[in-house]
Amino acid sequence: MRDALGRLSEAERHELMAVAGALSDAARRETLAHFRADGLGAESKETGHFDPVTVADRASERAMRAILALRRPQDGILGEEFGPREGTSGLTWVLDPIDGTRGYLSGTPTWGVLVAVCDATGPLFGLIDQPYIGERFAGGFGVAEVVGPMGRKALCARAARPLAQGILFSTFPEVGTPEEGAAFARLARQMRLVRYGMDCYAYALVAAGQIDLVVEAGLQPYDVAAPIAVIEAAGGIVTNWQGGPAAGGGQILAAANAEVHAAAMAVLNG
């Protein structure tokens, strides 16, 4: 289903988008079955700090893996809860069954399900799905749109503006190492507004033209693959803090446009 240069055919692109939608639909069902439920508990995956995982995280990823076993058994899988599965097609599905489990446990509606299909060059298509609100942000293969309670709308990241007029989001006020935190603080002091705790929904807001920057550190590939696809499809830029590839995780600088990206990068590396 690929041409002589190894490019995906139109038929396979449509198939991959359909599978991504089916994965997100399955994850919606599993996550909503437990959201705001009485007695929902969590284990911590780390001993040094609280890194929760719930029955919903695991059920969501199992449901997505079951669909891939039927519809795309030739593809690899990288999921947060159950690790990697090697494939033979050159494509890998990168899955975060609940991005923002702390928010999920707290009952906030800003967690999400992340689904991306990637090749060796990085994410090709991604979905940021918020099941409770019913919003799905899609990007890649010529698509850049959100579908939700307000209907279907094209995604378009914000136009350039000075940092002093911009909005910056990050999940935690304590960004990465002390050195990374100091760099983030330098940038935060130059922004008009800084907000925290939105997890993957912050990246969706970059693509939707609502905010200018998301800056984080210490992320994993499953945290960023889908946001990269969605933001880039909307005209934004996602790199590490030095301007290099970000699909491997680590430091993340997600920007609405090249101008604000360059300005933020200069401050972070100041």
DSSP 112: E
Q: Are residues 116 and 50 in the same domain?
A: yes
Q: Which two tokens stand for residue 165?
A: 């007029």
- Span 76-105, pLDDT tens digits: 999 999 989 999 999 999 999 999 999 999
* Ordered DSSP codes for 167-235: EEEES-SS-SSHHHHHHHHHHHTTSSEEEE--THHHHHHHHTTS-SEEEEEEE-HHHHHHHHHHHHHTT
Confidence of residue 191 (pLDDT cuts 50, 70, 90): very high
Q: pLDDT digit string (tens) for 141-158?
A: 999 999 999 999 999 999
Per the structure, the complete domain to which residue 121 belongs is given by: 10-154
pLDDT confidence of residue 51: 72
If asked whether residues 135 and 185 sit together in one domain, one would say no
User: Residue 224 is part of a domain; what is its CATH number?
Assistant: 3.40.190.80
Residue 100 within a domain: yes
Same domain for 45 and 88 = yes
pLDDT of residue 40: 84
| Domains contained in the chain, number | 2
In a domain, 5, yes or no: no
Mean of pLDDT values over 184-209: 98
Please indicate, yes or no, whether residues 106 and 202 belong to a single structural domain of this protein.
Answer: no
Sheet with 250-255, strands from edge to edge, namely 193-196, 167-170, 213-219, 250-255, 237-239
The pTM of this model reads 0.95
Residue 6: pLDDT band with limits 50, 70, 90: low
> What's residue 48's pLDDT?
63
